[in-house]
Amino acid sequence: MFANKRLSKELLKLQEHVPPGVSIAKSDNLEEWQMDIKVLDDNPIYQGQTYRLKFTFSNKYPIEPPEVQFIELPATSDTPRPIPMHPHIYSNGIICLDLLSSSGWSPVQTVESVCMSIQSMLTANSRNERPPGDSDFVAYNRRRIRDIPFVYEDDNV
Amino acid sequence: MAQALKKRGNELYVEGDFIGAEDYYSQAIAKDPHDPTFFTNRAVTRIKLEKWEDVEHDARAALSLYGKKDPASLKSSLYLAQALLALNRPQEAYDLTIVAYQFSLEVRNVQTEKLSGMLLRAKKALWEARETARLHEMDETLKSVEELISADLMRAEKELGDQLAKQEIGEVGYREDLRALREDAAKKVSHVREAFRISSKGDIQERVVPDYLIDGITFEVMHDPVITPSGTSFDRIGIVKYVEKAGVDPLTREAMSVKDLRPNYALKAASEEFLTKNGWAVDW
């Protein structure tokens, strides 16, 4: 498969240019990358914060989506990274976003475009809350992210 | 006895005293030249000291003590490849790493990732060598100027080596100065190339593959472009895999099947023409 080649090219492009508010935090192998994102407008929920996204690629990438979730680094570390508040982001970092599911993914998406989609998902949000059933989901979910049957009917958040 | 010397070497290594550690590993090897770990430990210490010829020697010694079928040898392959790249022998580094990489994949060794990274580095070094050869072929003057820069660098490196031998400078200063010299030479080369590129009015160009020839799925130059019902072209291999699995157009998400893909002959002709003039783009 072409996963490695494609990822090394994506990396080359990202090293030349990253979109505003996005930066590479870790990309020393072609299986897992970490990206830092910031919300650029003055949305008070995300002001002054940086968030860390973890991308895990299978060897079927980009035919299959990468697994993408937020990860938390403690507030006491040099680079504190909380999990952003959002009605589609669970407190364990799992993101409910159509384009990351097997059925919503398209191979023309890239790490860069996924970062930008998540950025704009945060920018557009005005509700400082977790998804309904957050604590149960965090306690009981054992499925892989792309296999979770999220409902995407709520398109206005 | 030899093990105790190795242990002392390890302690010094952890403390950052690489010269001391190297000495203890050498003593351990003198006592027992059949333990490959003495050689691997000295190799990694010598990597820190940037003594690349010595790294090569130690890594090869460890490799022959381990034999070909021992996964523990993979670390040594990595050290050897690193040394060969530093010694400007990318082809050897590549040949060696690709074998080690395949073996590491088979036995699912933890070194696979690092070996894959090393492969990319070796490939890049190979490409740089080809690129230099190509530029020199195109312009004799550029070649002469770059050879002057490189002769200059060799002379300066030799002077520095002599100073080290006469103990006018220490090991650490030597390595720092050496690195500065090399960086300086690389900068000069890139400036010269830039100047030649501007004056050549486009003959000597940065090589860029135009976006319209790059497949949006594999990110490679399209060899066999096909067009979807929504009007976008992809290289056949990637889009067929995707459509077989998803049954939709990757841009519009409308239902489609592999049979809806049509060859895009115009783009194929453009791609072939580009590849004929720019053979390098095949492994871009």
B225-254 pLDDT, tens digit per residue, is 999 999 999 988 789 889 988 999 998 889
The confidence score (pLDDT) of residue B109 equals 82
Residues 6+ apart with CB under 8 A from A63: A1, A107, B217, B238, B241, B242, B245
- Rounded Cα distance, A65 and A113, in Å: 12
CATH of domain B2-128: 1.25.40.10
Mean pLDDT value across residues A69-85 = 92
* Cβ atoms of residues B97 and B120 within 8 Å: no
Residue predicted with more confidence, B171 or B63: B63
| Helix (H), strand (E) at residue B263 | strand B262-263
Residue predicted with more confidence, B271 or B18: B18
The confidence score (pLDDT) of residue B85 equals 93
Burial (0-12, 13-18, 19+ Cβ within 10 Å), A89: buried
The predicted-structure confidence for B12-66, as pLDDT tens digits, reads as follows 999 999 999 999 999 999 999 999 999 999 999 999 988 999 999 999 999 999 9
Question: What is the pLDDT confidence band of residue B195, given thresholds at 50, 70 and 90?
Answer: confident
Surface of A (41-70) touching B: CB under 8 A: 62-64
The confidence score (pLDDT) of residue A145 equals 67
Query: Using a CB-CB distance cutoff of 8 angstroms, which residues of chain A are in contact with residue B105?
Result: none
Q: Pairing mode, if any, of strands B225-227 and A22-26?
A: unpaired
Q: Where are the alpha helices (DSSP H) in chain B?
A: 2-15, 18-31, 36-48, 52-66, 74-86, 90-106, 112-138, 140-165, 171-199, 236-246, 265-277
Query: Using a CB-CB distance cutoff of 8 angstroms, which residues of chain A are in contact with residue B250?
Result: 106-108
The confidence score (pLDDT) of residue A157 equals 47
Q: Is the pTM of this model over 0.80?
A: no
* Cβ atoms of residues B59 and B118 within 8 Å: no
Task: Domain B211-283: state its class.
Answer: alpha beta
Please give the interface size between A and B, counted as residue pairs whose CB atoms are below 8 Å apart.
43
The confidence score (pLDDT) of residue B279 equals 58
> End-to-end distance of chain A based on CA atoms, in angstroms?
36
The predicted-structure confidence for B205-217, as pLDDT tens digits, reads as follows 556 778 888 888 8
The confidence score (pLDDT) of residue A120 equals 92
Question: What is the pLDDT confidence band of residue A1, given thresholds at 50, 70 and 90?
Answer: low
Is the Cβ pair A63, B250 closer than 8 Å?
Answer: no
Q: Is the ipTM of this complex over 0.85?
A: no
Q: Indicate the average pLDDT of chain A.
A: 88
Give me the residues paired with residue B214 across strands. B221
**CA closest to B244 among chain A residues:** A63
| Domain A3-125 coded CATH 3.10.110.10 | yes
Mean pLDDT value across residues B185-190 = 91
Domain boundaries, chain A: 3-125
The most confident of the ranges A100-104, A140-144, B92-96 is: B92-96
| Helix (H), strand (E) at residue B227 | strand B225-227
Nearest to B143 by CA among B153, B156, B133: B133
The predicted-structure confidence for A23-72, as pLDDT tens digits, reads as follows 999 998 889 999 999 998 888 999 889 999 999 999 899 999 999 999 99
Shortest distance, CA B167 to any CA of chain A (angstroms): 39
Q: What are phi and psi of B254, to 5 degrees?
A: -80, 145
The confidence score (pLDDT) of residue B238 equals 84
Give me the residues paired with residue A26 across strands. A34
Range A147-155, long-range pairs (CB < 8 A, 24+ positions): A147/A102, A148/A94, A148/A96, A148/A101, A150/A96, A150/A98, A150/A101, A152/A96, A152/A98, A152/A104, A154/A87, A154/A88
The predicted-structure confidence for B95-151, as pLDDT tens digits, reads as follows 999 899 888 877 878 787 778 778 777 877 877 787 788 788 878 888 899 999 999
